[in-house]
Amino acid sequence: MLSIQAKYIKSRSKAGHSAWCVDSRCVLDGGSRKFYETKEEALRAIQSLNKEITPVAKNSDTWKWTFADLRKEYMERVEADYQSGKKSKTFRTDKERHTRCFLDLIIDGKNVADMRVADLTMGMVAIDLLDQLEKDRAKKTVTNIIGSVSHMMKFAILKGCRETNPCLDIETRGSLVSAEKNKAQQIRPEIIDAIMEQMSPEWKVAMRFACTTGLRQGEQRALTWSCLDLDNSQVNVTRAIKHRAGVGAPKTKTGTRTVPLTRDMVQSLRELFIKRGRPNDPDALVFCANGGNVRMPSKFLKALHRACDAAGVDRIRWHDLRHFYASKLLQAYPDDLWRVRTYMGHASIAITQSTYGHWIQNEGEDTAAVDKLSAIF
């Protein structure tokens, strides 16, 4: 029978203070971790919580469920929570993607989908499954997948498929290869020039904008004419288009920011504004598809790859143009990471350092201001 136990551990809520922990997350819907000063207090709490647990016989139908059975029921629950407004669309999308990834993993030559839920052990998760997940994924991605699976395991306990959650307190590492991939790769200005030469006039403006402002693709796609202050040579970043979630705030709180525009970029945008017929609608998109509609990310990538192929250079991503901007910021402000972080819209300087820190010692020869970026083009 399921039961809640107390453990004597150091409380995270009180630095250096040991306490009795009662953890009901595994066995109760809405369960939590609570800390008590004495063992007697913890035991009284356990007695009260155990009354809420419904015993499940190991010969029940749910005890025989495979992970394929569990995921089907779990996603129906997630969908119901989304439809009722309890959970967000992003929550639903993440749980669908992460649990599908989990079921595709292999243990002893067998898909997890075909395993009985009750048979999964913490050792299998910590060794067999993590080894596969961490092979080509960043630590954050692996942590998110394990978090989603842990949430599904909690549901499994409530449904009577098993008694414990094998995903609790699992430490993830992430791939060293993936970590290296996360370090931005520098692109030489002559490569940028060669690619841009192969682009149509409108796509050239879009690429130049990405290279000289560093906006994320979702921020650039959501950009309206009202976001541009051409008289003061700046762009106000206040919104972004997010995958399957429509228009919302930028990725981070610091993503809402003001970024300077080069003189050449201001001129190019003025010319584009005139070409578009001087739109009166302040919410009209700057880099839009035909009819003023939102341009899909695949269109940006196809235009970029087409130009790369025509220029005879290796293909790059649209996000690499943001990295290119960062490299020029570090040239202009080698000793001012705060400014770099602000213009890039990073959540913290630590992110700026982890992504671009390996460039800093090689930069600094050019101490010009951002406005000199126009000289690159």
pLDDT at 130: 85
In this prediction, residue 236 has a pLDDT band, given cuts at 50, 70 and 90, of: very high
At 254 the pLDDT is: 81
- Collect all residues with Cβ–Cβ distance below 8 Å to 95 and sequence separation of at least 6: 74, 75, 78, 148, 151, 152
Collapse the DSSP code of 132 into the 3-class scheme (helix H, G, I; strand E, B; otherwise coil) and give the result. helix
The predicted model gives 283-289 an average pLDDT of 92
Does 1 map to a domain? Answer: no
Residue keyed to tokens 């002559």: 190
CATH code for the domain of 302:
1.10.443.10
Range from 84-88, 117-121, 251-255 carrying the lowest mean pLDDT = 251-255
Burial state string for 100-129 with b = 16 or more CB within 10 A and e = fewer than 16:
ebbbebebeeeebbebebbebeeebbbebb
Residues 240 and 346 in one domain: yes
| Length of the chain in terms of residues written | 377
Domain shared by 86 and 160, yes or no: yes
Give me the pLDDT at residue 116, please.
93
Looking at the fold, whether 113 and 244 belong to one and the same domain comes out as: no
Its domain, for residue 362, covers 183-376
**What is the tens place of the pLDDT at every residue in 190-235?**
999 999 999 999 999 999 999 999 999 999 999 999 999 999 999 9
- Based on the fold, state whether residues 15 and 146 are members of the same structural domain: no
Q: In this structure, are 265 and 310 located in the same domain?
A: yes
| Same-domain status, 157 and 279 | no
Instruction: Answer whether residue 237 shows pLDDT above 90.
Output: yes
238, 363: one domain: yes
Residue 282 lies in a domain: yes
Residue 76 has pLDDT above 90, yes or no: yes
Contact 17, 8 (CB under 8 A): no
Number of domains in the chain: 3
The pLDDT of residue 1 is above 50: no
One domain, residues 191 and 167: no
Residue predicted with more confidence, 77 or 128: 77
| 261 vs 26, higher pLDDT | 261
90-146 per-position pLDDT tens digit:
899 999 999 999 999 998 788 999 999 999 988 788 878 888 888 778 888 888 999
Structure tokens, 275: 């070409």
Residues 39 and 115 in one domain: no
- 246 and 302 fall within a common domain: yes
Tens of pLDDT, residues 184-194: 567 889 999 99
Query: In the chain, what percentage of residues exceed pLDDT 90?
Result: 38
CA nearest neighbour of 318 among 236, 221, 227:
221
CATH code of residue 108: 1.10.150.130
Cα separations in angstroms, 321 against 110, 197, 209? 42, 15, 9
Helices (H), the chain: 39-50, 67-83, 89-103, 122-123, 130-133, 139-159, 176-182, 189-197, 201-213, 217-221, 263-275, 297-311, 319-332, 337-344, 349-360
Shared domain for 75 and 26, answered yes or no, is no
